[in-house]
Structure 1
Amino acid sequence: MKSIFVRAGYLLRARVDCVTQISSESLSSVSRLTLADDRSAIAKIGPLAAGKAHMLEAMRGRGVPTPAILGVEGELLILEDLPATGRLA
């Protein structure tokens, strides 16, 4: 089985140079991926990835600001890495 981060690199069409774990729970984890082309993305790993992607798409379709979905495969959901401003929107 391919590493989750090799899969992320494949979905993003870029090499993942660095992985920084942001949070981890019993069923899921969240990491920031730094890519070779200087972009970054957020990887959520857990059993409900497709459902979370569907929910985010539905929210975005109703005008709610959400991160863009960059890829989803199995338990891997890759999201746009938004700047942390400390503000709600």
Structure 2
Amino acid sequence: MTLPLFISGAEIAFILFIVLMVFGADKVPEIARGLGKGMRQIKDATNDIKTEITKSAEKQGIDVDITKDVKKEIDKVKEDVNEITGPIKRNF
């Protein structure tokens, strides 16, 4: 499992040890619960904002699924490049 910020297992253990020493064993579950709630609220708020933007764009007739169009264009370009470079690759 790769963790963000490239933190190794030993560094995580050290950080947890320091947290345990500073706050004590009784407070660590409360802190973890509070962090979990905070992260959930941020995630929910982000999803709500995305939903509102999508709804607003759909009401105004804006195509919100532009990624499919971009992907199609990229695939077309890939096919064209493969057609052009195919004979060149075969020569090598």
TM-score range, shorter chain: under 0.3
- TM-score for the superposition, normalised by structure 2: 0.25
**Larger relative contact order (C-alpha < 8 A, sep ≥ 6)?**
1
- TM-score for the superposition, normalised by structure 1: 0.26
Larger Rg: 2
**In proportion to residue count, which structure has more helix?**
2
